[in-house]
Structure 1
C-alpha cells in the first residue's frame, strides 16, 4: 500500500511537471509565419522604390500602419513599417528584412499594445523592447530609437494599470541610454476625468482618427527636430 502511494505521488508530480512545462512552451511559441505576406509586401516596396538610407523609419503595429506619414509629415519622407496586430517581438524578428537594411538614423517604435492585450506582463514587454534595441544596435550602433508609449484607449481601458507599468519600465530604460527616447502619448490622450478622450478614436475605440494622430504628431515632433 505504501509503495502504491509513493508511486501515485511520483506520477502526479511528473504529470504536474510536464503540464507546467507544456504551458511554458505554449506561451513561448509565437507564430511569425502569419506576417509573411506583410513582410513580403514591404520587400516588394523596397525593390520598387529602392532602399532609403539614413532616414526616419516608423515600425510597430496597426497604429503605425494606419498613420499616413506623408500626410502628417510631408517633408519627412519617412518609411512606414507597421503591420497590424504585431507585437514587439515581430518587429525584432523581421528587423533585418524591414528595418536594418534601410540604416535609419532614427526609429520610432509603437508596439506593446497587442502584447499586453494577449496577456504578456509589463516585465515581458519591457524585456521585448530591450531585445529590439539590442537587435537594432548590434547592426546600427548609433541609431536613435524612440518608443512611443502604449496609448490609453477606450477598448482596452481595463488594462490601464498594466499599460502604465509597462510604459514606466520602458521609460526607465530610455532614461538610462542616450540613444533611447520615450515619447509620451499617454498623458495628452487623457481627458480632465483621467480617462481616454473619445474624440481621438475611430468607432472601434482602439485606433486613432485624425485628431488622435495630431496628438501623436505633436508628441513625436520634438524628436524629429533633434535629428
Structure 2
C-alpha cells in the first residue's frame, strides 16, 4: 500500500479539529479584548470571590530569590492551601513561564496555587512535587522542559522525568485530572533573552517533536494533554513576537492566549 493510500489516523483528525477550534477561540478572544481596550483603555477582570482565591503573593515580590528560598515559600503556600482547603483549587506547576502568570489574567472563579520556580527543570520539579501532597486540588497543570533543553538535557531524560511526574501526581492525587501542557516554542533569531545563543542551539522543530512524544506519554498514562504550541507559533514555527517579552517569556497578550486555552480545556 502506498503512503497516499494509508488511512489517516482518527486521533490525528480529532487533534487537528481541536487545535483549529482552539485557535479560532483565541483569535476571537483577542479581537474582543482589543475592542474592550479601545473602549475602556484597560482590561477588567472579576476579583476573587474570597481571599482564599489569592493564595500566592504578587509575582513582583519573588525576584532575586535562591532556590531554597523558592522552596520555602512554595511549601508555606502549599501548607496554607492544605489547611484552608479553598474551593476549586487549581495548581500551576512549572518554571518561570508558569510563575509569572499574572494572577489577574488567570481564569476566574477558581483558587490558584502557583508552584512555579524560575529556571526550574523537570528533575527539580519531580523532586518537589511532595510540597503540595496535602492539598486537595481539582486539577493540576504542568508545564516543564524548556530549561532542560537550555541546559543540554537529552529528550530521553526529559521524557522520562515527565513520565515520572505524571505517575507521581496520579498516585498522590488519584482523582485529580493531571493536565500536561506542551513546551512552548522560542523566538529564535528574534529573541533578545540574555541566553539567546542557547535558545538558537535548540531548533523549534526539536521542541515540536518532543511535544509529540510527550503527548503520546500523557495519553498512554491517562493524563490530559493541552497542546499550546500551535497557538504560540508563527508561520516559521517560532514564538510569535506579539506574545513574548524576550523570545522566551510571555507578555500579557501571551498569557491571554494561554488563559483562553485553559478556559476551553475540558474537566479543568
TM-score normalised to structure 2 length: 0.65
* Counterpart among 76, 80, 86 of residue 44 in structure 1: 76
Q: Deviations over 1:80-108 (max 9, x none)?
A: 110100012212111111x2221323110
Tell me, in whole angstroms, the C-alpha distance in 2 between the residues paired with 1:165 and 1:123: 12
Between the two structures, name the one with larger relative contact order (CA 8 Å, sep ≥ 6): 2
- Alpha-carbon distance, 1:76 to partner: 1.3
- Alpha-carbon distance, 1:37 to partner: 0.9
* Counterpart among 62, 66, 77 of residue 111 in structure 2: 77
Partner SS, residue 101 of structure 1: coil
- Alpha-carbon distance, 1:123 to partner: 1.7
- Alpha-carbon distance, 1:126 to partner: 1.0
**Structure with larger Rg:** 1
8 Å CA contact 1:56–1:107 kept in 2: the answer is yes
Structure 1's 87 and 36: CA in aligned 2 closer, same or farther, altered over 3 A? same
* Counterpart among 232, 257, 262 of residue 189 in structure 1: 232
Structure 1's 137 and 47: CA in aligned 2 closer, same or farther, altered over 3 A? closer
Structure 1: runs of 5+ lacking an equivalent: 1-33
Give the corresponding residue for 2:214. 170
1:16-35 correspondence runs (5 A): 35=67
Tell me, in whole angstroms, the C-alpha distance in 2 between the residues paired with 1:129 and 1:170: 8
* Counterpart among 249, 252, 265 of residue 207 in structure 1: 249
1:45-194 correspondence runs (5 A): 45-46=77-78, 50-52=83-85, 55-97=89-131, 99-154=132-187, 155=191, 156=199, 158-159=201-202, 160-178=204-222, 180-194=223-237
Structure 2: runs of 5+ lacking an equivalent: 1-65, 192-198
Q: Pick which of 107-116 and 188-197 moved more.
A: 188-197
Structure 1's 104 and 36: CA in aligned 2 closer, same or farther, altered over 3 A? same
- Alpha-carbon distance, 1:51 to partner: 4.5
Structure 1's 187 and 65: CA in aligned 2 closer, same or farther, altered over 3 A? same
8 Å CA contact 2:239–2:247 kept in 1: the answer is no
Partner SS, residue 205 of structure 2: helix
TM-score normalised to structure 1 length: 0.76
8 Å CA contact 1:60–1:86 kept in 2: the answer is yes
